[in-house]
Structure 1
Amino acid sequence: MTELGKHIRMERIMNRNTGTTVIVPMDHGMSVGPIRGLTDMKTAIQKVAEGGANAIVEHKGLVRAGHRGQGRDIGLIVHLSASTCLSLYPNAKTLVCTVEEAIKLGADAISIHVNLGNGYEKEMLKDFGRISYEARTWGMPLLAMIYPRGENITSEFDVEVIRHAARVGDEMGADIVKVSYTGSSETFRQVVSGCSIPVVIAGGPKMSNDLEVLEMVKGAMDAGGAGVSIGRNVFQHADPTAMVRAIAAIVHDGVDVDAATGILKRTGRGGA
């Protein structure tokens, strides 16, 4: 029965016809505070839901603040990991929520963040193992955000370390793994080929223009990626709804960058 439950929940955070997803993480308030675009959670969620996002990521305390009670439905992923930029060890993620608590909040899935290559990797992997077991027991989809970040990492965008990061998520029992984009479709294809579960890309820092975002999304999809998990480049956009529509057209419909740019211009205000 838990496998059936997981299957049903996966369809709430992914497009059931394409097996792809557009996720908008909105958990940034924990790590860097109430940044632009996330001060009014209901409005922020409403905008990306209208654009066709499949799911959002939130910490447990903001679920009530962001619940709209109307409008287009959107999947809820409750994030279990946390740290702040104020810490001496910002790369050391700590569990702040349980699988059972996320279920009680109405979550369709849960997520966990692990940084590899630093002195706290051992503790984060131990937490990952426990959460993976509990998620499987409850039939909850698990999104693993895995980044090579720490004193033992020379470049966190190197294809070999990102391949390794994606494989860690796979080996540990995640259902979806989120990693950084490697910069080209050719190199990202190596990441996808070494992983048996869906791979989505992170959006990274706020980019200078829309074209860069859309080209990144297209490159990841051409490499066999399963979608995106893009935050600041969506919710800090001049028109988040239009930006999500453009991204979703690439992810779900396979349109090219020119067509996606046209969708953005026709439906929104444009501009980053």
Structure 2
Amino acid sequence: MNGSKLARWSRVVNPQTGRGLIIPIDHGLTSGAMDGLRNSAMPARWLNHPSITAVVAHKGMVARLNETGCLLGKGVILQLNGMISSAAQPHRKEMLASIDAALRMGADAVSLDLVFDGEHDSHNLRLLGAVADEASAYGLPILVMVKCLGAQAAGDAAIPRLRRVVRSIWELGGDAVKLQKPEAIGDIPQLLDGLTGDIDVFFAGGPRSSDEEIARLLTLGLNAGAKGLCVGRNVFQNAHPEKFLTALGLRMARQPDTNLALVNAG
């Protein structure tokens, strides 16, 4: 990253450690109202938690949360594209916001949600290339939230496929990626080998799972060179989000270790 990007990115992650706990709450556009995100007031109750370094949201949610003051001191990442799940092509995410909108809203970075399913890969790469060209002129970092689907992303081919997608993203100017966890969590070192020197990696929590599973994902990711987590449902659908965030924050502050026990969040 150049100087302008580094300055903005230092508001997205902890500037001393480079690690981050990023909370995506962009789910409403894709899936509508859901537990924990039925309205903007629900996440506003806990988004000021000190463990959270940044939030990913669409422009309407950012505007409403800014009115509450809960985003003060947090990195704001504006989600630029998306598609509703009921669309004919839900994996083809279209541009819904602009770099200009991100700058006007005071965003520290922008995000793209890209689903590589073998059908829309060229659309994804063209979109990322165009956004990277425009964002670089203003020093805006780009987070790419990646999913790999289809036959090419299954079984033994999953890790090489995902590694190739990540390589394509940083070749086109992406600064950070949110990755789905591999089917076998022990494959994280193989997945990240040689990649983390060129791009910051954050692991997604995926569908709701246990607090202990997310803690293990965080520890294994940090040990392999990842910068932290980008988790939504496992926070906003947690019965005790503040306690869970405190536990994750304590783990983030440690040096990588092999102790996988999470502070009791219940």
Gap regions ≥5 residues in structure 2: none
Contact 1:185/1:220 (<8 A) preserved: no
Cα distance in 1 between the residues matched to 2:131 and 2:11: 20
Contact 1:200/1:228 (<8 A) preserved: yes
Q: 1:79 and 2:82 equivalent?
A: no
Secondary structure of the structure 2 residue equivalent to 1:199: strand
Task: Flag the 1:239–1:131 CA change in 2: closer, same or farther, 3 A.
Answer: same
| Number of aligned residue pairs | 261
In the other structure, the counterpart of 2:62 is: 63
Secondary structure of the structure 2 residue equivalent to 1:13: coil
Q: TM-score, normalised by structure 2?
A: 0.90
Contact 1:108/1:140 (<8 A) preserved: yes
Task: Flag the 1:217–1:227 CA change in 2: closer, same or farther, 3 A.
Answer: same
Secondary structure of the structure 2 residue equivalent to 1:138: coil
Task: Flag the 1:187–1:43 CA change in 2: closer, same or farther, 3 A.
Answer: same
In the other structure, the counterpart of 1:257 is: 260
Structure 1 runs (4+) greater than 4 angstroms displaced: 183-186
Which structure's residues are more often helix, by fraction? 1
Cα distance in 2 between the residues matched to 1:70 and 1:206: 24
Secondary structure of the structure 1 residue equivalent to 2:49: helix
Percent of aligned pairs with the same residue? 27
Cα distance in 1 between the residues matched to 2:25 and 2:250: 21
1:113-162: CA deviations, max 9, x gaps? 11213322211210110001111111001101122124654359922222
Secondary structure of the structure 2 residue equivalent to 1:257: coil
Q: After TM superposition, give the deviation of residue 213 of structure 1 in Å.
A: 1.5
Contact 1:25/1:58 (<8 A) preserved: yes
Cα distance in 1 between the residues matched to 2:125 and 2:237: 32
Task: Flag the 1:18–1:191 CA change in 2: closer, same or farther, 3 A.
Answer: same
Equivalent of 2:200, from 198, 201, 207?
Answer: 198
CA RMSD of aligned residues (A): 2.2
In the other structure, the counterpart of 1:171 is: 171
Q: After TM superposition, give the deviation of residue 54 of structure 1 in Å.
A: 0.3
In the other structure, the counterpart of 2:18 is: 19
Task: Flag the 1:220–1:47 CA change in 2: closer, same or farther, 3 A.
Answer: same
Contact 1:51/1:241 (<8 A) preserved: no
Task: Flag the 1:150–1:105 CA change in 2: closer, same or farther, 3 A.
Answer: farther
Cα distance in 1 between the residues matched to 2:215 and 2:141: 27
1:44-87: CA deviations, max 9, x gaps? 14413314200010001111211222686211100011011101
Secondary structure of the structure 2 residue equivalent to 1:17: coil
In the other structure, the counterpart of 1:267 is: none
Q: TM-score, normalised by structure 1?
A: 0.88
Indicate the larger mover: 64-73 or 123-132.
64-73
In the other structure, the counterpart of 2:249 is: 248
In the other structure, the counterpart of 2:8 is: 9
Gap regions ≥5 residues in structure 1: 265-269
Secondary structure of the structure 1 residue equivalent to 2:140: coil
Cα distance in 2 between the residues matched to 1:167 and 1:198: 12
Task: Flag the 1:157–1:74 CA change in 2: closer, same or farther, 3 A.
Answer: farther
Task: Flag the 1:70–1:153 CA change in 2: closer, same or farther, 3 A.
Answer: closer
Contact 1:14/1:21 (<8 A) preserved: yes
Which amino acid letter does the alignment assign opposite residue 6 of structure 2?
Answer: H
Contact 1:149/1:156 (<8 A) preserved: no
**Residues 27-106 of structure 1: matches in 2 within 5 Å?**
27-67=26-66, 68-69=68-69, 73-106=73-106
Task: Flag the 1:231–1:113 CA change in 2: closer, same or farther, 3 A.
Answer: same
Q: After TM superposition, give the deviation of residue 10 of structure 1 in Å.
A: 0.5
